[in-house]
Amino acid sequence: MDTDCQDNLINIITYAVSNGINHIETAMGYGSSELQIGDELQTLFKQGEIKRDDLKLQTKGGISATTTPEAYRSSILDQIRRLNVDYVDLFSVHGMNTWDHIDWLYNNKLIDVIKKLKKEEKIRNIGFSTHAQAEVTSSLIARGDFDYLNLHHHFFGDYTASGDGLNGGNIDNVRLAHKKDMGIFIISPYDKGGRLYAPSNKLRDLTLPEFEPIEFGSLWLWHHSRMDTVAQSQPHTIVCGAARPSDLDQPIYAALNVHDSQTASNVDAVATRLKQAMVQELGARTMQGLGTKEFRIV
């Protein structure tokens, strides 16, 4: 493994943990990331920098039409070994995007494999990640077999589910997961949620002076229960794909200011300006995917 890359990784993990971030997410499909993370975690554990119990470690593994229970169990255990730990806190069935994926999971009895690994305490919580249309996701949530899900849900639309669902996007799925007491992990809020890491000048003009775009995107999610006047649903985890320690600064700053006395009114003020600008540019009908009158983005 490249030394410079590994040094950067260990700096990111150390910086994150020192600032209160305890959730690390990866997947079998992310190149050699499981191996790289596992190697550096052991270094930090041995140095006493971090304890295993300090972290919530999540990985994900996909399935196919031909995946057998035996192969799936072996694959998951290999993932845990690559991470160099005895268990993972969270394991997601990766990319549950179509009705076929749901059929494979249940008809091939792959769901039973994950449940058994949970009983064996190799997996502490079972989830799924999805880029699906809203109705596919809601069907999987409704089955009641999962502790959490990885979902697109952002101020600037819900990626593949934008404009979908009864109320537009994934808001109904957030509410359904909340009703079932599932953890809600927000996928890619700073990339698929509007490329907030590389905002246009116009977007920054609309979010400043209160917030940088990343700060606003974060705080809109952290204030979700206040915005959702129907169900008071609330995401629990926001992911940041950091390429360097400083990429975490704005998400950290936003998290530290969630309960500041001025934050709520500032979130509302920025959301109002953004909605007005979007209606002006796109028209009121296009805005349907951002929520109904029952879910106020202002």
Q: What is the pLDDT of residues 106-153, one digit of tens each?
A: 999 999 999 999 999 999 999 999 999 999 999 999 999 999 999 999
Q: What is the mean pLDDT of residues 262-288?
A: 88
Q: Is 45 within a domain? A: yes
pLDDT at position 286 over 50: yes
Number of separate domains in the chain: 1
For residue 288, what pLDDT is reported? 57
Composition of the chain by helix, strand, coil, percent to 5 = 50, 10, 40
Helix, strand, or coil (residue 138): helix
List CB contacts of 183: < 8 A, sequence separation 6 or more: 90, 125, 127, 147, 148, 149, 177, 236, 237
pLDDT at position 268 over 50: yes
Tens digits of residue pLDDT in 204-232: 999 999 999 999 999 999 999 999 999 99
Q: Is 297 within a domain? A: no
The amino acid present at 266, given as its one-letter code, is N
Tens digits of residue pLDDT in 38-61: 999 999 999 998 999 999 999 999
Please name the residue that has the structure tokens 């590389």.
198
Q: Is 296 within a domain? A: no
Higher pLDDT, 239 or 294: 239
Q: Is 214 within a domain? A: yes
In this structure, what CATH number is given to the domain that contains residue 91? 3.20.20.100
The amino acid present at 42, given as its one-letter code, is Q
Q: Is 253 within a domain? A: yes
Q: State both tokens at 64.
A: 């196919």
The angle at the Cα of 255, spanning 276 to 141, to the nearest 5 degrees, equals 75
Q: Is 298 within a domain? A: no
Q: Is 295 within a domain? A: no
User: What is the extent of the structural domain holding 234?
Assistant: 3-290
Q: CA 191 → CA 36, 199, 214, 242, distances in Å? A: 23, 10, 10, 11
Q: Is 103 within a domain? A: yes
pLDDT at position 77 over 60: yes
pLDDT at position 238 over 90: yes
